[in-house]
Structure 1
Amino acid sequence: MSDAADKTLSLEPALSALRAAGESTRLRILALLSGRELNVKDLTQILGQSQPRLSRHLKLLSEAGLIERFREGSWVFFRLAEGSAEARLAASIVAGLDSDDSVLQLDAARATAVQKARAEAAQNYFKAHAREWDRIRSLHVAEAQVEQAMMDALGQGPFDLLVDLGTGTGRILELFARQADRALGFDVSHEMLSYARMKLEGAGLAHAQVRHGDLFHLPLADGEADAVVLHQVLHFLEEPAVAIAEAARVLEPGGKLLIVDFAPHELEFLREEQAHRRLGLASDQIGRWCDEAGLDLKTHRDLAPGEAGDESKLTVSLWLAEKSQAAASEEKSKSAAKDGTASSVEEAAA
């Protein structure tokens, strides 16, 4: 099939997609899934409708190719379709909706409340386990094995600025501090930061510091870091792609991003008891997020449990990506254009 054919819909599929979208609840679902991944339970809370009814709406939208479903353990999540002609139609439909519509605004506010409640659950977990976090990590694949693999992947540096996002206890700063002139860790938990600061000071690592900060909005300039680490962070997040994009923004051309997280698994208790948002991350999804952020995925490695069939252990995956020159040039052009616009406005005002 030609590229042109891939970008267009014939009459019947187009009519099928439009029929699927042509109902108020299904339009609201499309709007909610624009930039979000939600499950049926989320949607029942947001839309105030029964699970059977919403399941039928989701089935129709999925069959029409307007949304995609993916399973994580016993939960099924939904998002707008990507990459197909139907996906472009879904995006166009959402773009054509009035964002000031009172019903859509209320739906968005409820969705934000649902996401905030999840974030608070994760935060409460962090607070309850601030001093036990290193011990909890040890319940999975041997931490020494993971740390050696991280050292091998990221290399010896030296790094001018190494950034650890979601630094937790500061262990990653300890691990890499001697390979960096400066090391910064960011976290939203004050309890975690207090514990990390205590550990770093005790180790005599004055150049390794921690800061309170949102990893989606880092207080760092574009291209300021030459290494960024996301260690066991993404599975807690509503929007991992946004975190990866922000990490890419602060990387210099050729800078390295090291992602360490769990491979897909079925350990449901981690979601309920430890506030995991995702039961692991697939390598193809990581690759797509990196590509969208202007990063070239260089290596991927899995560290499986020591004993085959031991379901109490998890496989840890490592991905190493680099900031491409093309992405850096594009960011520089956008920044220059923005500065030029600001200058023009100032000149006009003068």
Structure 2
Amino acid sequence: MEILKQFKALSDPTRLRLLFILEHFELNVNEIVSVVNMVQSGVSRHLKILLDAGLLVSRKDGSFIYYTTNKTGYTRELVVLACKQLENEPGLQEDIARTQQCIILRKNRSRGFFRTAAPRWDRLKKKVLGNFNPNPLLECYLQDASTIADLGCGTGEMLAGLLGRGGKTLIGVDASPEMLEQARLRLPEGQNLELRIGELEHLPMREQEVDAALMSMVLYHVSEPEKAIREVYRVLNPGGLFLLVDFLKHDQEQIKDIIGGVWLGFTQQQISGWLDRTGFNLKHTEFYPVEKTLTLTFYLAQK
């Protein structure tokens, strides 16, 4: 009986500890080992038991396998109930604090990439996009929006195109000071344009501040994509549009040497699942092949 397998999986304190951590974060084995201070073989054994019970799911990204709790299906209520009972355990809160340090290390690697790549970013993008330019695709959906946020605005290429349309208030957000400096060099100063520094998982924006938000070739740099999508939902007005362009999942780790990134793209199921759990209504999806046998996927969603 499946329920017996699940309760048996939850009967071990170490497995409960892992479940609680992976309810809050998606981690690979090396990161989990550093958090719980156990040998890798022991961690892997416990992960397999939780996987076999359907309480965890895994995904392969390059040479790493990442684990998180199962967010769908009939086991979801059991996972939520178990984690709720563990919230006040002091040792587990220490685990969460150590896990946050792992996430900070990921973000620091991304920031380090952009410190050197920012002046060359437009040229680097062209190596993987070739002659394909996603900006006109996005602009055609923004005609009726009066306040627009470009999240992960980079060097300001998209914002420069939107400035020409007039009558719109534009907000650019990026976590990299070096990328924002390139954007300031490109964009004229004006009352209808504001550049803000901040992480996509914690946007420096008010609730319901914009009519439309876009992320173009950004999400694969974000350590916790679902948190970033929840932030987009927060800052959008009711009925607002979310335009997302990112790479379809691939296995070419060498691409990170060109354009960096934490993820090797995303499956449709990953993106649509995050959008659905956040509350978005996915309206439209399109695919565009680019260089290096990569594919860009465009998602149009509405709050």
Q: TM-score range by the shorter chain?
A: over 0.9
* 2:171 counterpart residue number: 184
**Shift of the alpha carbon at 1:144?**
4.1
Give the direction of change, closer, same or farther, for the CA distance of 1:214–1:82 in structure 2 (3 Å limit).
closer
Q: Deviation string for 1:129-158 (max 9, x for gaps)?
A: 110111111111235432233334x25x14
Paired amino acid for 2:150: D
Residue aligning to 1:198: 185
The runs of 5 or more residues in structure 1 that have no matched partner are: 1-11, 307-311, 324-350
Secondary structure of 1:25's aligned partner: helix
Q: Could you say which residue in structure 2 is the equivalent of 1:48? A: 37
Check the 8 A contact 2:245/2:297 in 1, yes or no: yes
Provide the rounded CA distance (Å) in 2 between the counterparts of 1:242 and 1:151. 25
2:2 to 13, 29, 32: 13
Question: C-alpha distance in 1, partners of 2:131/2:84?
Answer: 46
Distance 1:219 1:116 in 2: 18
Aligned amino acid, residue 305 of structure 1: V
TM-score (norm 2): 0.92
Residue deviations 1:251-283 (CA, integer Å, cap 9, x gap): 222221110111100011345775422110112
Q: Does 1:35 align with 2:21?
A: no
Contact 1:233 1:261 survives alignment (8 Å): yes
Amino acid at match of 1:78: Y
Q: After the TM superposition, which of the residue ranges 24-33 and 209-218 deviates more from structure 2?
A: 209-218
**Counterpart amino acid of 1:90?**
V
Alignment partner, residue 302 of structure 2? 322
Query: Could you tell me how far apart the structure 2 residues matched to 1:181 and 1:49 are?
Result: 54
* Matching residue within 135, 152, 164 for 1:166: 152
Return 252-261 or 216-225, whichever deviates more: 216-225
Between the aligned residues of both structures, percent identity stands at 31
Q: Distance in 2 between matches of 1:219 and 1:115?
A: 19
Deviations 1:22-76 (A, max 9, x none): 2222111101101211111111111222222211111111111111112223321
Which amino acid in 1 is paired with 2:45? R
- Tell me how far apart the structure 2 counterparts of residues 17 and 272 of structure 1 sit (CA, whole Å): 41
Deviation at residue 89 of structure 1 after TM alignment: 1.2
Q: Mapping of 1:240-279 within 5 angstroms?
A: 240-271=225-256, 275-279=260-264
The answer for the alignment partner of 2:50 in structure 1 is: 61
Report if the CA contact (8 A) 2:285-2:297 is conserved.
yes
- Give the greater-gyration-radius structure (CA): 1
Which ranges in structure 2 are unaligned for 5 or more consecutive residues? none
Going from structure 1 to structure 2, the CA distance change for 1:254 and 1:178 (only over 3 Å counts) comes to farther
The question of whether the paired residues in 1 share the 8 Å contact of 2:125 and 2:259 is answered with no
SS at match of 1:140: helix
* 1:179-202 Cα deviation digits (max 9, x unpaired): 35211101122221111011002x
2:2 partner letter:
P
1:1-350 equivalent positions in 2, closer than 5 A: 12-101=1-90, 103-142=91-130, 144-152=132-140, 154-155=141-142, 157-179=143-165, 181-201=168-188, 207-271=192-256, 275-305=260-290, 312-323=292-303
| Amino acid across the alignment from 1:159 | A
Secondary structure at the aligned position of 1:216 is classed as helix
Counterpart amino acid of residue 100 in structure 2 = T
**CA distance in structure 2 between the partners assigned to 1:216 and 1:72 by the alignment:** 21
Deviates more, 1:255-264 or 1:47-56: 47-56
The one-character-per-residue Cα deviations of 1:283-318 (angstroms, maximum 9, x if unpaired) are 222112222222211111111136xxxxx3421111
Superposed CA RMSD in Å reads 2.0
Q: Distance in 2 between matches of 1:33 and 1:250?
A: 27
- Given that 1:67 and 1:87 are in contact with CA atoms closer than 8 Å, whether structure 2 keeps it comes out as no
Q: Per the alignment, do residues 183 and 87 of structure 1 end up closer, same or farther by CA in structure 2, a change over 3 Å counting?
A: same
Q: Is the 8 A contact 1:164 1:185 kept in 2?
A: yes
Q: How far apart are the structure 2 equivalents of 1:65 and 1:272?
A: 35
Q: Which amino acid aligns with 2:110?
A: A
Normalising by the residue count of structure 1, what TM-score does the alignment of the two structures yield? 0.80
